[in-house]
Amino acid sequence: MLQVCLFPKANLYRNISTAISYICGVTMIPTPELLAAGNEKAIARAITWVENNHPQAQDLLKKLSGNSSVIGITGPPGAGKSSLVNALAKYWSSQNQKIAIVAVDPSSVFNYGSLLGDRLRMQSLFLMPNIFIRSLSSRGSLGGLSGSIIEVVDVLKHAQFDKIIIETVGVGQSEVEIAGLADTTIVVSVPESGDEIQTLKSGIMEIADIFVVNKSDRDGAGAFASHLQKLAHIRATENWEIPVILTNAMAEKGILELSEAIDQHRTFNLNNETINDLFAEKAYTLIQKHKMQGIQILSLRNEISTLRNNHTFNLYAYVESKLNLNE
């Protein structure tokens, strides 16, 4: 303001200062201090670093710590996951909680397509304070989650978000991965999922900490929910019986109940030894990632093709040569 009053060429100065802050933004080093202070540019830059395996990313990651609650939301396409994330984030933000949302694009390893629908649906959240949104591509990760999701979550934890929400479509392995990463895993289904109950029972249902029956404005929601309740009762442990919560994400109904269930589960999980399993799983994934560094399926394929053409290919000798190289 002072600058504008004192200098007639205020616009020039403003342009220079915009240019300087742009350059600073581009060259910004995301330090642990900037992350902890919630600097959005630093957070975005740190995530880009870990996604792109930036040479300094490892050093940064080693200095991170944090204790946010990580919530995984999974379920079939179109069940209303993004709408639920939207409603939950709005509710928590109104309570002055800091929320990070990670939307993993349901891109297929076959066509590398990715849906932008999530971003459109969450548009209103972009304008809200206390809410940070990032979408990641699951491209290249066999499990369906982004290859760097663990690191991304650690960056967000250090940035001291109260809650980190990860949305992913249930495609095979991804829900198992998300259950390893999240403190609380929410499985979203809809009344129409009744027919798929056998599939749900054997797969995605196994990892639920909370069941949500969304689109409760539709017929059959109550009956489906009580069916799930029976399943949940069979699977109940001494300390936790999976709650079944009816929601209508569009009308923001059932959101308070869902939020309470998430907080309750967090308390339960904090006191539980299973947190060690989560860390072991993380360490395993990171070691695996480290060991696999530099190994690309396409270059393996090309090498194998050449070796086979030369009639010198032996699978086991080839694997051994790769393992030796990577030690």
Positions touching ligand GTP (CB under 6 A) are 77-83, 106, 115, 117-118, 121, 169, 214-215, 217, 248-250
Complex with ligand GTP: residue 68 or 83, whichever CB lies closer: 83
Strands of the chain, DSSP E: 69-75, 99-105, 131-137, 163-169, 184-189, 210-213, 244-246
Candidates 62-70, 75-83, 151-159, 174-182 — which segment interacts with Mg ion by CB under 5 A?
A: 75-83
Helices 297-309 and 315-325 pack at an angle, to 10 degrees, of: 130
Complex with ligand GTP: residue 184 or 189, whichever CB lies closer: 189
Complex with ligand GTP: residue 32 or 191, whichever CB lies closer: 191
Our finding on whether 105 is near Mg ion (CB under 5 A) is: no
> Cβ 77 to Mg ion, closest distance in Å?
8
Complex with Mg ion: residue 118 or 175, whichever CB lies closer: 118
Number of residues that bind Mg ion (CB under 5 A): 3
Q: Which does 144 bind (CB under 5 to 8 A by kind): ligand GTP, Mg ion, none?
A: none
> Cβ 118 to ligand GTP, closest distance in Å?
5
Instruction: Record the tokens describing residue 304, joined without a space.
Output: 């194998």
> Cβ 168 to ligand GTP, closest distance in Å?
9
Q: Residues 225, 213: contact at Cβ < 8 Å?
A: yes
3-class secondary structure per residue, 138-194: CCCCCCCCCCCHHHHHHHHHHCCCCEEEEEEECCCCHHHHHHHHCCEEEEEECHHHH
Our finding on whether 214 is near Mg ion (CB under 5 A) is: no
Q: Residues 275, 78: contact at Cβ < 8 Å?
A: no
Interface mask toward Mg ion for 114-153; x: CB under 5 A: ----x-----------------------------------
Instruction: Record the tokens describing residue 8, joined without a space.
Output: 């007639």
| Angstrom distances, CA of residue 295 to CA of 160, 184, 253, 326 | 34, 33, 48, 9
Cβ-proximal residue to Mg ion, closest one: 82
Amino acid identity, position 73: I
Our finding on whether 82 is near Mg ion (CB under 5 A) is: yes
Complex with ligand GTP: residue 42 or 101, whichever CB lies closer: 101
Q: Which residues contact 164 (CB under 8 A, 6 or more apart)?
A: 68, 69, 70, 71, 99, 100, 101, 102, 153, 156, 157
Complex with Mg ion: residue 28 or 128, whichever CB lies closer: 128
Candidates 35-43, 60-68, 110-118, 173-181 — which segment interacts with Mg ion by CB under 5 A?
A: 110-118
What is the distance in angstroms between the CA of the first residue and the CA of the last residue of the chain? 59
> Cβ 248 to ligand GTP, closest distance in Å?
4
Helices 174-181 and 274-291 pack at an angle, to 10 degrees, of: 120
- Residues near Mg ion (CB under 5 A) are 81-82, 118
